[in-house]
Amino acid sequence: MAEKPIVVRVDIRASAEAAWNEIAKTGVVQRAYFDTVLFGELKPGAEYRYSTPDGKRTFIRGRVLEVDPPRRLVTTFRFTGKGEPEGKVTTEIEPIPGGVRVTVTHEGLDTAKGTGRRAEGGWKSILGNLKRVLETGDVSAGMKFQYFLMRLFMPLMPKGE
């Protein structure tokens, strides 16, 4: 099992508070996170999930381990319905000249197969979307088309757990 941490980072022209508010918002669509909604409270020990806006399909589940706004969020992380082991995701926001650096470290995935192989690309996409949302107010036209296709095929996807 190839378990090396996935580390992805992006520099964003925004404040730490703006980045935190976008990452930590619950109950509303998060454009950067593939148009999913984060359900749950961000407090240590609380469970959370990323689901479709109607709540019918859940893609990710976990538990909040650490919350230090606007600097750090640590959670467990498990893709639903994939038989993947639970991992740990640490999101760190640090001020840099002209903005912030957001770093995501995902530990505990088998990077030699399945979801583990695709996770790095997923995080790169999410952080790229986060940068675009914070700097321009929305995701790219290409990402909007991808989201449209995802919504179109959503009824064919399993409901998850």
> For residue 103, what is the domain's CATH number?
3.30.530.20
Q: Phi and psi (nearest 5°) for 7?
A: -125, 120
Range of the domain at 108: 6-152
Omega of the bond leading into 5 within 30 degrees of 0 (cis): no
Per-residue pLDDT of the chain (161 residues; tens, 9 = 90+): 557 899 999 999 999 999 999 999 999 999 999 899 999 999 999 999 999 888 888 989 999 999 999 999 999 999 887 677 789 999 999 999 999 999 999 999 877 776 777 888 899 999 999 999 999 998 888 877 877 887 777 766 656 55
Q: Residue 12 carries which side chain, given as an amino acid letter?
A: I
pTM above 0.75? yes
Number of domains in the chain: 1
What pLDDT shows up at residue 111?
74
Residue 90 in any domain: the answer is yes
Residue 157 in any domain: the answer is no
What pLDDT shows up at residue 2?
56
Residue 85 in any domain: the answer is yes
What pLDDT shows up at residue 158?
59
What pLDDT shows up at residue 117?
74
Cβ atoms of 48 and 129 closer than 8 Å: no
Burial letters 67-105, b for 16+ CB under 10 A, else e: beebeebbbbbbbbeeebeebbbbbbbeeeeebbebbbb
How far, in whole angstroms, is CA 45 from its chain's centroid? 19
What long-range pairs does 118-122 form, CB within 8 A, spacing at least 24? 119/6, 120/6, 120/8
Cβ atoms of 21 and 12 closer than 8 Å: no
Residue 124 in any domain: the answer is yes
